[in-house]
Amino acid sequence: MSTTNESTSRLSENEQALQWQNEFLVERLTELELQLENEGWQVLTGGMDRELSRDALRTINRLARLNWLKNPLIQRGVNVQSYYVFGQGLEITANDDEINDMVQKFLDDAKNQTELTSHQALLLKEAELTLFGNLFFVFFVNAKTGHIRVRTVPVDEIDEILTNPEDAKDPWWYKRTYEERGLDGKASTKTVYYRDWRYEGSERPTSGEISPAPMFHVKVGCLSDMRFGVSEVYAALDWARAYKNFLEDWSTIVRAYSRFAWQVNVQTKAGMVAARSKLRTTVSDGVAETNPSPVTGSSFIGTPGTNIQPIRTAGATTSAEDGRRLLLMVAASAGLPESFFGDVSVGTLATARSLDRPTELKFVSRQTLWGDTLQAILYYALVQAVRAGEIKGNIISDDDGVPQLELPPVVNPDTGEMEERDLSFNVSFPPVLEHDVTTAVDSIVKAATLGGSAMAGTMDKRTVTRLLLTALGEDNIDELLDIIYPPDEEGDTNEEEEEPGSEPPEGAPTTDEDDLMPPEQEESFEEAVKELRDAIRSIMP
């Protein structure tokens, strides 16, 4: 019995020692965290080695939002990227006529325009993606028509992403916690789970409400093993704040220089009192100013021994240009040239008309990301239209749960043969660089004529016209094409049958007569292209 009591007592002592040790460690960690905060830093990892905690990301998002509203450098960097990505608009079409009608209906929906498809909405979504690193789209589907409406959930309301236990890169469910405020003004906390738009499994969360609307997550500023994206302005926040503090300090020094503009030397105490009486203002006495400052060009007349001179501030060692390195750190983290942040002295005609290659590729890469995102959303809309029966076809699910479509073939009106349906979508952006317009037009003409004066049959007239309109940044290209090439006038009417067995000479280019213009139309087309190029060159500085 005594042995048992001794063992119990020893275990109790060890447990007490461990508790004291844990308390000591907690105190030391808390002290270290406070030291970090005192240095202007915060603990952000939340005990995770590969990913920031949700609280840390919310803190970063809050700082990014406030700095975008207040700090000119952060706002400028975010806005410039939005302008380059969406400032010239974009064109979204489908090659199949029936699918294109569905696409245009989706784009023209008033609520979709408010959230995503209008020019302003796209600019805001690009800014939010840059600031917060995440976008969470939610699709609300009309079961009868298959039409979808898009909404986004605020980033900070997503608490957790539940993934495949065997594959952390395969998201299944998104946990959202938010406050729902009723018409009576009372707020209640709700927890809702959203299924990932590609997840077709049967595993479900054991608690919380299940939303019927699927969710589509887009993230940037992170590595592939991170579930959440990170604000792309995160790296610039400290340097933008440092540059702001530097300019404030510099302004303080300049203000101090201007506080005392004159130095008065007197020989006696009585002279000092007299000088102060002469120079002081009388506004503080509660009466009208009776001792105003001298007007410009006044003369100073003093007694012997009194000397007044301006304080010399020329050659001060502190200059606003000394903070340029801080500005360069902001520019580097934003991936933008220094001239984009207001310093036109480092810009030239070349920088105004062109971009360095990394910056150009940055914008093109972002446009590609948005192109992939919009194509994915449109494909989901097409799947729902087929599921609702608005578009005839079959839905086949692969092993990974991603739905695949099979649409019945259609008759080609030109050949009369059955052909497969084209399910692809076209998301076209105008060239990033302005000077590319002339180059693009010349390239299109050369590709259509192979450097000659006649159409070479490499592209049909409608395709050439579409490319030219896209290069010029025209809106509503489909409507313009319908005006230029009415549906009942598409194709040539002067088709001639070739003699049986006739073949083109060896080495001659093989062209389809349907792609060639009649001589009179070909001449008009060439003249129009020439006028177009001349007009572009005339407006380019």
Mind listing the pLDDT tens digit for each residue in 148-160?
A: 999 999 999 999 9
Same domain, 389 and 529: no
pTM score of the predicted model: 0.69
Chain segment 84-115, per-residue pLDDT in tens:
999 989 999 998 989 999 999 999 999 999 99
Task: Tell me the residue type at 122.
Answer: L
Same domain, 390 and 447: no
Q: Please state, rounded to an integer, the average pLDDT across all residues of the chain.
A: 79
Range with the largest mean pLDDT of 123-127, 339-343, 507-511: 123-127
Same domain, 209 and 238: yes
What is the SS3 string spanning 307-359?
A: EEEECCCCCCCCCHHHHHHHHHHHHHHHCCCHHHHCCHHHCCHHHHHCCCHHH
Quick one: average pLDDT of 25-41?
Answer: 52
Chain segment 424-450, per-residue pLDDT in tens:
999 999 888 765 566 667 777 777 776
Same domain, 38 and 74: no
Same domain, 36 and 120: no
Measure the CA–CA gap between 233 and 331, rounded to whole angstroms: 11
Same domain, 126 and 230: yes
Name the nearest CA neighbour of 130 among 219, 242, 227: 219
Strands 167-181 and 187-196: antiparallel
In a domain, 502, yes or no: no
Q: Would you place residue 496 in the very low, low, confident or very high pLDDT band (cuts 50, 70, 90)?
A: very low
In a domain, 109, yes or no: yes
Phi, psi of 216 (to 5 degrees): -125, 120
Measure the CA–CA gap between 34 and 15, rounded to whole angstroms: 28
| Torsion, CA 267, CA 268, CA 273, CA 277, rounded to 10 | -40
Predicted pLDDT of residue 57: 93
User: Where is the domain boundary, 383, 404, 430?
Assistant: 430
Same domain, 128 and 157: yes
Predicted pLDDT of residue 500: 44
* pLDDT > 70: percent of the chain: 68
In a domain, 277, yes or no: no
Q: For residues 197 and 439, which has the higher predicted lDDT (pLDDT)?
A: 197
Same domain, 111 and 168: yes
User: Where is the domain boundary, 380, 411, 430?
Assistant: 430
Alpha helices (runs of H) in 335-435, residue ranges in sequence order: 349-353, 357-388
Total domain count for the chain? 3
Measure the CA–CA gap between 340 and 110, rounded to whole angstroms: 35
Measure the CA–CA gap between 19 and 21, rounded to whole angstroms: 5
In a domain, 40, yes or no: yes
Same domain, 115 and 163: yes
Same domain, 77 and 192: yes
Measure the CA–CA gap between 299 and 61, rounded to whole angstroms: 60
Measure the CA–CA gap between 23 and 5, rounded to whole angstroms: 27
In a domain, 377, yes or no: yes
In a domain, 270, yes or no: no
Measure the CA–CA gap between 273 and 413, rounded to whole angstroms: 104
Alpha-carbon torsion 481, 484, 485, 486, what sign?
A: positive
Same domain, 97 and 36: no
In a domain, 258, yes or no: no
Same domain, 28 and 157: no
Domain extent at residue 370: 53-253+324-340+357-430
Chain segment 166-194, per-residue pLDDT in tens:
998 999 999 999 998 888 888 889 999 99
In a domain, 76, yes or no: yes
